[in-house]
Amino acid sequence: MYNPRTQKRPGDYNAVPVLGAWIVAFMFKFRQTKLTPKSQIMNIIPWTGCQLIAVLLGLPDYICCAGLGSSCTAATECANVANATCKTTCQCDTAFKTVNQACVLNGINDTCTDDPNRLSANHLTCDTANTQKCQCVQGYKPKAGACIPNAVNDTCKDAADCLSTNHLTCATTKCQCDTGYKPHAGVCIKNVIGKSCTDATVSTVCTLENSVCTSSVCACKPGFKNNADTCLKIIGGHCTGSVACPGDTHSVCKNTLCECAEHFGEKDNVCTATLDSKQCTPPKGTECGANAECDEKTNTCRCSSGFKMSVDTCVAESGGISTKSVYGVFDPFVTDMTFRTFMDMMDRLRCFLLCFILRDNFYSCVP
């Protein structure tokens, strides 16, 4: 006779193995599931069941912590979400907001309550007195959702609007570079003029055009002046007034342009005393130098015949050429001085051609 306690009918099954298989399948499915957000785990598995399965699967037990919006009784239950706390339900802490089931720091114009320690990390402050919104702290401005330091020419009310750490100061309602610094790409960099230098570092430190290392400090070359860390040529530059231009005591300002004063001429960018201003002792006038002599009437130097004055020296006058080459015949390319103009060269060539065609006396051919 059939005994239901000890015998099974065809088609009967044991519930325990089936339930065990279902649990194993569920565990396998669970393990293949992405474990975020954590609140979803709580919706699938009860609290104690979650912990049990976590142990069985070798998973950390913190995956069983509640996610944002889940009920809680202690902050530790919300520990699985960074910067979350328990307020009956898991919620983001002050100075944070919910973004995709995560707590991120508030940004510009987000509603806030004062939490200076956290907001200061992003250079933010909570305007609790007026808007209850996050705003950039003094010295910073909003850009692309972030707070960045004020730069050169940004509007300012006082010194705190221009960060001293960036070498800025507030001048006439605009952030300007401190003395000794200049603007470059919106920031202030140290001036080149005035930097310490040596002969070994001059090429990498004194990088301004027309600057040199003088007395271990970068300075403008003679004949140039410093203007906002730029070496500008003095002679020929703009000026005001009628006195000597700053940087060259032997210059004068005429018609807003700087030029050398009387008895001075420009040489190597500097106004230099001309030859005719030099006192001498006749008749030899050894003080005057080569190709010069002493004028007995004025006791000043002058150029000898066939030469003309070039600031403080004498050079051969244009047109004077040698009459013979090394071969004893006329050679138009042997000359006492360089050709000064294109027309001068053409005159010499014309003279040579005429002499050659007419077979005239080569020795008398002088343009």
What DSSP string describes 200-258?
Answer: TTHHHH--STTEEEETTEEEEPTTEEESSS-EEESTTSB--SSSPPTT-TTEEEETTEE
Q: What is the pLDDT of residues 316-360, one digit of tens each?
A: 987 544 333 333 333 444 444 443 445 556 666 766 666 556 555
Name the pLDDT band for 69 (thresholds 50, 70, 90): confident
Q: What is the pLDDT of residue 66?
A: 65
Q: What is the pLDDT of residue 277?
A: 92
Q: State the average pLDDT for the chain.
A: 76
Q: What is the pLDDT of residue 211?
A: 92
Give the torsion sign (CA, 153, 158, 163, 164): positive
Q: Going by C-beta distance under 8 Å and a sequence separation of 6 or more, which residues neighbour residue 88?
A: 71, 72
Q: What is the pLDDT of residue 124?
A: 86
Question: For residue 207, which of 183, 184, 231, 186 has the smallest C-alpha distance?
Answer: 231
Residue type, 232: L
Indicate the pTM of the whole model. Answer: 0.45
Q: Cα separation of 211 and 227, whole Å?
A: 12
Q: Cα separation of 317 and 345, whole Å?
A: 14
Q: Which residue has the higher pLDDT, 95 or 154?
A: 154
Q: Cα separation of 165 and 362, whole Å?
A: 80
Name the pLDDT band for 307 (thresholds 50, 70, 90): very high
Do 39 and 69 touch, CB atoms closer than 8 A? Answer: yes
Q: Going by C-beta distance under 8 Å and a sequence separation of 6 or more, which residues neighbour residue 198?
A: 213, 216
Name the pLDDT band for 220 (thresholds 50, 70, 90): very high
CA 142 to chain centre: 21
Name the pLDDT band for 33 (thresholds 50, 70, 90): very low
Q: Which pair of tokens denotes residue 297?
A: 């009437």
